[in-house]
Amino acid sequence: MSRIVMKFGGTSVADLDKIANAANKVAQEVENGNQVVVIVSAMSGKTNELVGWVRETKPDYDQAEYDAVVSSGENVTSGLMALRLQQMGIKARSWQGWQVPVKCTGHHEAARIDDIPPENMNAAFDAGYAVNVVAGFQGVMDDNRIATLGRGGSDTTAVAFAAALKADRCDIYTDVDGIYTTDPRIVPNARKLHRISYEEMLELASQGAKVLQTRSVELARSYHVPLRVLSSFEDDISDKVGTVVCREKDIMENIKAVKGVAYSRDEAKVTLVSVADRPGVAAAIFGPLADAGVNVDMIVQNISEEGRTDMTFSCPVDQVLRAEKALKAAHEADDINYKEIIVDDIVAKVTIVGNGMRSHAGVASKMFKVLADEGVNIRVITTSEIKVSVLVDRKYMELAVRALHDAFELETA
């Protein structure tokens, strides 16, 4: 008997008919003799609705109360999925995060899973429950307050359960049939990848690809969880479909320099003008931002005048107010000193990713030339061993993605 984790995203459980469709896939695994843990997201659109209600009620909301409200969408879906399975004659029950418990640490809205003790879940299987349905995206803090894991957190929940319960595999069911070289809505001839390495998927996810949450890929890599992405709207759930995220050495395809193009539309560029250029200034700036839960990405430091420097970083647009509040508080406490904060909230990030960059010279220069030929100005650049990211005006984002996809010939294997 195998143990399988199956995660269904919001579009896969958007209404009762889609929940029934997902339940049929779960039933196939039960018929194959497997014990199944099902992780569910909220119904499509429900989380956005709940977030909107919170912001309308109190724009500068209490993050703990935000989590209490926003986590409720998954509770509804898990109960409905369990009821549907029971209707089909399958012994199933639902679990909320605190019941398992999914123990979390860190900040509300972006908590991290610290531990999932397997005893309660194992006891349920021993009691004859073939399927245990868990509300994704949520857990519980040490103070017994509900916590959420950030957007896409149900992916992380699924991989964490697969690791904690030593599952044979973790299947992520979504509204696409795998992982593509880029977003097919922008580039119609984008190609589905049969396999992709943990490292490449981690870079794509962290740079904006929304198929998998970054932390879910980190967990899968750390615990060697076999991870597969496939469509909930196809009948075939065999090993032949979807995209497998695995170790680089398990990929037999030809390795191109670039494997995919990712983008993040809702970015902001924040610049602190004329900061004192002294040891410790970076820590004084980015420490308060981290404490405030601001996800800083690209960082550039420029000399502005003698003894002063400009510090620029990018972050999600919806975290700009939080960033400004943290920086102003540090300024008022004399921890940092600057002339002004300049925010550009109409930029986007475009990234090329590929393990092949390690052995191919000139990838970055080719990227820059392609963008220059298209008239796309680059605001900020950051690199790693297997990725190059640029910040550009948001109106040029789709143009940049299409041009890079074509230039690196990603439509062919």
Domain boundaries, the chain: 3-253, 261-407
pLDDT at 413 over 80: no
Distance CA 283, CA 288 (A): 8
Report, as an integer, the average pLDDT of 107-114.
93
Q: For residue 252, what pLDDT is reported?
A: 66
Q: For residue 213, what pLDDT is reported?
A: 83
Residue 95 and residue 79 in contact, taking contact as beta carbons nearer than 8 Å: no
Q: Is the model's pTM score more than 0.85?
A: no
- Asked if the 261-407 domain carries CATH number 3.30.2130.10, the reply is yes
pLDDT at 254 over 60: no
Q: For residue 253, what pLDDT is reported?
A: 59
- At 131, which helix (H) or strand (E)? strand 131-135
pLDDT at 355 over 80: yes
- Asked if the 3-253 domain carries CATH number 3.40.1160.10, the reply is yes
Give the whole-number percent of the chain exceeding pLDDT 70: 98
pLDDT at 205 over 90: no
Confidence of residue 359 (pLDDT cuts 50, 70, 90): confident
| Residue whose C-alpha is closest to residue 216's, from 1, 7, 73 | 7
Q: For residue 304, what pLDDT is reported?
A: 67
Report, as an integer, the average pLDDT of 177-204.
93
pLDDT at 208 over 90: no
pLDDT at 251 over 90: no
Distance CA 217, CA 379 (A): 29
Distance CA 197, CA 209 (A): 15
The length of the chain is 413
pLDDT at 210 over 90: no
> Taking all residues of the chain, what is their mean pLDDT, rounded to a whole number?
93
- pLDDT greater at residue 343 or residue 276: 343
Q: For residue 302, what pLDDT is reported?
A: 83
Counting Cα atoms < 13 Å in the Cβ hemisphere of 321 gives: 4
Q: For residue 63, what pLDDT is reported?
A: 95
In 98-188, which residue ranges form alpha helices assigned H by DSSP? 119-126, 153-164
Report, as an integer, the average pLDDT of 143-154.
93
pLDDT at 256 over 90: no
Q: Residue 240 to residues 169, 244, 360: CA-CA distances in angstroms?
A: 15, 10, 31
**Of the listed ranges 71-85, 194-208, 335-349, 392-406, the one predicted with least confidence:** 194-208
